[in-house]
Amino acid sequence: MKDVQSNKTTIPALGFGTWQLKGDDAKKLVSKALEVGYRHIDTAQVYENEEAVGKGIKQSGKGRDDFFLTTKVWFENFADNFADSVHSSLKKLQVDAVDLLLIHWPHPDLPLANYMEKLVEVQQKGMTKHIGVSNFTPELMREAAKLAPNIVTNQVEYHPFLDQSKVIQTAHELGWSVTAYSPIAQGEVLEDDVLDKIAEKHGKNEVQIALRWLLQQKGVIAIPRTSSEAHVADNFDIFDFELSDNEMQEIFALNAQNKKIVDPEFAPDWSY
């Protein structure tokens, strides 16, 4: 299992994402992921599954030091109830503190300083070990770094069909990592001929190739989500092979499509 070093913090490079997983499914799959060997679980307030994730962790029997836990504050909680919302998340997750707390999206109207200050405050109160952001453009990353110098990651959509080189370059400049959500383009990697050809050569599938490509990049973490127990194990089975430099470049070339899948109306302007 590979780790990523980010701003003096060690983060497991392959995590299990829980977006769209609910109730017993979330509980079962989180427990399965920890059993398989994942040491990083990712959730969020707006996923409405923190309680199920907490139950899955408990069911796994893993000790608190055996996993890295991330959750995210939804922007409706950026005002007066920021700390209360984090306290509620901890209660649902059945932990005293998360390892990483993220601002889920930059607020379209509130000043950045307003909620970054609150993020730093809950860290100082011991509710999270580390802090970060999500869906921040390079410009917003630099602004956030001035307000909170100990940020460790920016979680963004990143897969073979989307060019995130400017985000990654900015992260390197700041000493951050980049965490890739939707790392298999919500299943679209399964339809790609380049990934299929490389997968056949290595005796793997296209999903495993896409995840391996991400993890071979400096400072990149991936958090694939699946609703299948079999795929939980398959997605973890990427540490017994390596992509060549040529194969890495072939996959990088796919980003010319610049295909963004997650782009809600409140998203920041990515036209840089």
DSSP letter (8 states) at residue 68: E
Note whether 141 and 148 are within 8 A (CB): no
Helix crossing, 112-124 with 82-93: angle to 10°?
50
Pick from 248, 222, 170, 250: which is nearest to 1 by CA?
Answer: 222
Active site residue 38: no
Note whether 106 and 112 are within 8 A (CB): yes
Q: Is residue 218 packed enough to be buried (19+ CB in 10 Å), middle (13-18) or exposed (0-12)? A: exposed
Q: Which of 38, 47, 158, 181 is catalytic?
A: 47
> Which residue reads 């995590």 in tokens?
15
Tokens representing residue 123 in the block: 């860290």
| Residue 183 CA to its chain's centroid (Å) | 9
The enclosing H or E element of 20 equals none
Phi and psi angles of residue 68, each rounded to the nearest 5 degrees, phi first: -110, 125
Tokens representing residue 205 in the block: 């599938």
Task: Just list the catalytic residues.
Answer: 47
